[in-house]
Amino acid sequence: MYNTHPNRRVLCLWKSSRSGHIKESTLKDLASLIIRTLFCVSTTFAQWSSDPGVPQLLGTGIQPQTAGTSDGGVYIAWLKDGNYHVYIQRIDAAGETQFDGSGMLVSDNDNSSWIAVYHLNLAVDSDDNAIVTTVDERTGVWEVYAWKIAPDGSMLWGQDGLALTTSGVTNMSPRLTVLQDNSVVVTCTHGNNTVLFQRISPEGELLWGDGILIETDNGSLVSPQPIVSVNGDVLVQWIRQTGSPPYYDSELFLQKYNIDGVPVWMVPIVVAGPVVFPMGNWS
């Protein structure tokens, strides 16, 4: 019963002369357990390169995220290798960096090494603001935080971001989606076995109190992800895992919520499974 209460990577960005769209190319070294990322854009006359072999170095880091803007530009967010601090860069349609050449620091709070694999997220709202979510250990446990960054680099939700969880228990694997009114829904795994999600207003107000919980007495709920339906409702999917480690019986569930966080369907839908799959919070 449910209750609602790495590998080695080189990343280059270039713009296709045919489509005008930003493309991403990745090379993976499956033998390496350490993620290394190289951020690249064109240098020639501040124009996007059509050749990924002639890039501009932006810096080194891990877990890069990209999101395009309405004017043909792009945001890139990443974690600094070694200390896992969060950085962001905005590049305009002409290929020129808009923030500091090495990127703008978003957060220098403490982090653990392995969390970089799946905790950083980036999206863009209709006003071309960047929304960044991640977890850090500033309070001693993993809590979820969100930042809203304007095209000019202003931190619209404050330098420290918004604390979406203050529970004192582990929170992992946050994911986000931007709604039609520019509010943001963020989901995460809460306490290793429960789904928690929250809606943030464009001004940075937490609209659903301490958040909405999805929990069960039968198994662990992990890896939630939100998306927006065509009519503005929020679809949240998650994985229920039962059985014994290291391999679990996993089922994929889906539920629809209206703008007030009220479930639309009587019960969640089982989309897939059960299948045997290792435990984890993945995307």
pLDDT at 107 (0 to 100): 94
Note the pLDDT tens digit of each residue in 127-153. Answer: 999 999 999 888 888 999 999 999 999
Range of the domain at 246: 169-283
Whether the ω angle into residue 226 lies within 30 degrees of 0, i.e. cis, is no
Report the phi/psi class of residue 79: left, alpha or beta, with left for phi > 0 and alpha for psi in -120 to 50.
beta
- How high is the mean pLDDT of the chain? 82
23 and 128 assigned to the same domain: yes
141 and 230 assigned to the same domain: no
> CA neighbours within 13 Å on the CB side: how many for 151?
14
140 and 272 assigned to the same domain: no
**Helix (H, G, I), strand (E, B), or coil: what is residue 173?**
strand
Give the pLDDT band (50/70/90) at residue 179. Answer: very high
Residue 125 placed within a domain: yes
User: What is the domain-level CATH number for residue 251?
Assistant: 2.115.10.20
Please check the confidence at residue 101 and state whether its pLDDT lies above 60: yes
94 and 159 assigned to the same domain: yes
154 and 177 assigned to the same domain: no
> What contacts 93, CB < 8 A, 6 or more positions away?
71, 72, 73
131 and 36 assigned to the same domain: yes
Q: Which of 163, 185, 200 is the C-terminal boundary of a domain? A: 163
174 and 38 assigned to the same domain: no
114 and 13 assigned to the same domain: yes
Residue 184 placed within a domain: yes
Give the pLDDT band (50/70/90) at residue 211. Answer: very high
How many other CB atoms are found less than 10 A from the CB of residue 10?
A: 16
Residue 1 placed within a domain: no
Residue 149 placed within a domain: yes
**Rounded CA gap, 97 and 95, in Å?**
7
Q: Which of 105, 130, 163 is the C-terminal boundary of a domain? A: 163
Query: CA 37 from chain center: how many Å?
Result: 17
Entry pTM: 0.82
pLDDT at 279 (0 to 100): 55
79 and 177 assigned to the same domain: no
Q: Which of 121, 148, 163 is the C-terminal boundary of a domain? A: 163
Residue 116 placed within a domain: yes
How many structural domains comprise the chain? 2
19 and 150 assigned to the same domain: yes
82 and 205 assigned to the same domain: no
| CA-based torsion, 205, 154, 13, 9: positive or negative | negative
121 and 10 assigned to the same domain: yes
Burial status of residue 119 (CB atoms within 10 A of its CB: 0-12, 13-18, 19 or more)? buried
